[in-house]
Amino acid sequence: MRLIFKLLAAPVVLALTLTVWLCALLLGLSAYLLGLAGTVVGLMGLAVLITYSVKNGIILLVIAFLISPLGLPMLAVRMLGFLQELNYILRDFITG
């Protein structure tokens, strides 16, 4: 019975491994691009904050934080870490 579960888990491990690799690649590329975009939006937010409107400047700074590597990409890293942990648990089940 345990062998059947191991045989069923093997394709899932393969799919998870490929998904994690692809997501890690996409996450690295998007973090780089969003870091550049966050810098531009942050500088614009600072300029708007000083020259035009405090409210709009703060809104732009919040958007810059969300697209910076500490905002939404960090949430994606945590979710990718969860998938990687699940992958390791299934690998241990198969080899154990």
Burial label for 83, CB within 10 Å (0-12, 13-18, 19+), is: middle
Q: Cα dist. 30→41, 56, 72, 75, 96 in Å?
A: 16, 26, 11, 13, 36
pLDDT in tens, 47-91: 998 998 899 999 999 999 988 888 888 888 999 999 999 888 988
Q: Please, are residues 27 and 73 in contact by the beta-carbon 8 Å criterion?
A: yes
Q: Range of 87's domain?
A: 2-95
**pTM above 0.85?**
no
Domain total for the chain?
Answer: 1
- 13 CB-near residues (< 8 Å, 6+ apart): 87, 90, 91, 94
